[in-house]
A = this chain, B = another copy of it.
C-alpha cells in the first residue's frame, strides 16, 4: 500500500485483531487479511448469507440484504461480503459465521505478500551515475569573422570539445543539413543535443542543434512491451521526474494470447509487419496520451512537450515481443533448438519501426539472453538491482513461461521453464484471468471444511485466477483434503464429490455464482497446477545444482511480474512453488522490466552494465540437462518428494495428521 494514502482500522472480535485497510475495502477481504475465516461461499454476491457479522462501533457502507431483517440491521448485523470499510470500525464475527466452537473466529494463516522493493531514482544521483543517454548543452559560439572562419560544424564541435570537454562526432547528414540555420537564428546561441557514449572512451554523437537555449528540456521514454500489457513512462531526464505513465493491452492479444501463436501469425505474409505495427500504433497512442497528461503539469513553463524534444527511448520486452516489434523473423524461436535472430539489438532511429518522434531519436531495445530469457528479464535484473547485489539471489518471473535467474553481482545463471498457462488460468477447468468475480483468495473452516471465497471486486464468483488457485491448492493440502500426490483424501463431505475429471471440491454452488454451474477444483486441475509449479521448482533446483549451490545458499528471492505482486508466499512455499526460506528474504519488485527500461533513460552507466550483465550470464537449456527430468519428477508433488526441503510444511502436516 502506498505511503500517504488514507487508511482505516478494522478491529475484529472476538479474536481482537486489528488491520489497516484502504477506504472501500470489503470486510471479507479485511478479515482474510487479518487471518480470520468467515464462511463466504458466494464470494461477495450476498447470496449465501453465511458471512453475517455485527458492526459494533463505527459504520460500514452497504451490507444489508433480504437475508437481514430490519431489526437485525439496526442492531448492526451485516453481510461481510457486501460491506465496505469507510471509517474506523469494530466488527464481531459471530460463532455461526466462523462455525468454530468457542466463538473466537477461526484463525487462518495471514496472507504473506512479498515486501515491495521500489528502486529509488535518487540512488542513481547518490552513486554519481545519473547521466541520461542524451544530454543538452547550451552554447554561445564565437561569431565567425575573417580571422576565424571555421566551418559551422567544425565551430560547434570545437567549442564542445574545448569548452565543454565533449569529444563529439556528427554521423548523419540530417544534423549537418540544419546546422547552418540553427546557428544563425539566435546569433550563434544554440543548444546541442548529444547522445552520450556507452563506453567511457567513446565519442558523443551530435543528434540535434536548436537555436537558443533549451537545456532544461530533455525528455525520454521507457516502455515495457509485455505479451499482455504495454506500459510506458515519460521522463524528464533533467529532474528524473516521471511526467506521465500510461498502459494499454497489447493489441496482438487478438491474434493469440501467448508468444507461440503470435509467432505463427507473424509467419503469414505481412504478418510480421502487422504484428509490429499493432504495437507501434499502441506506443504512438500511449506517447500521445502521456504528452497530453504532461502538458497539464505546470512545471514546464506551460510549453507542452513536442514529440521532437524526445531524443531517447528505452524498450524492454521478451525475445518474441522484441523480435515482433523490430520486425525480426521470430520463426525459429518456436522450434527446437529455439534460435532467435539476435539477442542484442543495435540502437536504431525510431523512424525505422515507425515511432512518431524526432527523427534523431534513438531507440534502445534491451538485449535478450536466449529465445526464452528475454530483454524483460535482463531489464528486471537491472531494475531489481540484483546485478549489483552482493546477496546470492534467486530472481523469478512467473507467467506462461517462468524465467529464473540465480546469481549476484559477480556471476549470473538463468533458465526458462515452460510452466504452461496454469498460473494465468489456462488448463484449469474453471480457470480465468484476474478479472472481476475471479476467486483470488480462499480459506476453509478446518472443522467444517466450508469455504471462504474472496473474489476480485467482491463480485459473485465466475472462476479461479492464478493467485486464487495457488491458495486453494495450498489450503486444501494444508487441511488434509489433498494428499501429497494432489489426490483427494477419502473424506465424506457435501462439497467433495466425484466429477468428470476425478474427485473435486465445490468452491461455490451454482446459485451463488454468476455462471451457470458450480465452481469446482478437480484432480486434473491440481495435476496441471503441480506440473507448472513443479517445472519452476525443478528449474530452480537444476540451475542451483549446475552452479554447485543449494537452496540454503540463497540469500534473497526477488519476484517480478504481475503474478509476483499477488502471490501469497506462504502458499507458494506450502505447495513447493517457491523454496522454503525466511519470508523476509523475499522481495517483490513490481514491473522490473519497466524499471530497468527507465533506469536506462536516467543512467548511461546502466547501459554499460547491461552489456556486462549479458556477457556475464550463463544460460541453461533445461531440456538439455538430464538432471532436470529427475528434479521435475520429484517436484510434481505437494510440496515435493523430499520433505526435508520443506521442513515447516512437513511440521504443519504432521500436526494436522496427528489431529
Contact = CB atoms under 8 A, between A and B. Distances in A.
A147 B620 CA distance: 10
A9 interface: no
Given A342-B170, A624-B146, A329 B181 contact: yes
A128 interface: no
Contacts of A328: 173, 176-177, 180
A152 B341 contact: yes
A494 interface: no
A176 B339 contact: no
Contacts of A346: 169-173, 176
Contacts of A181: 329
Contacts of A173: 326-328, 345-346, 348, 352-353
Contact of A341 (B171, B180, B342): B180
A174 B326 CA distance: 10
B152 A342 contact: yes
A173 B364 CA distance: 11
Given A172-B348, A337-B144, A353-B173, A149 B621 contact: yes
Nearest to A184: B332
A340 interface: yes
Contacts of A249: none
A316 to B, nearest CB: 17
B146 A337 contact: yes
Given A149-B370, A348-B172, A342 B177 contact: no
Interface residues of A, number: 48
Interface string A147-164: 111111110000000000
A331 interface: yes
Nearest to A152: B341
A331 to B, nearest CB: 7
A149 B341 contact: no
Contact of A154 (B169, B326, B343): B343
A614 to B, nearest CB: 11
Contacts of A621: 146, 149
Contacts of A352: 172-174
7 contacts: A151-B341, A152-B341, A154-B342, A170-B342, A173-B353, A176-B326, A180-B332
Pairs A-B, 7 closest by C-beta atoms: A153-B342, A149-B337, A180-B329, A151-B340, A171-B346, A151-B343, A146-B337
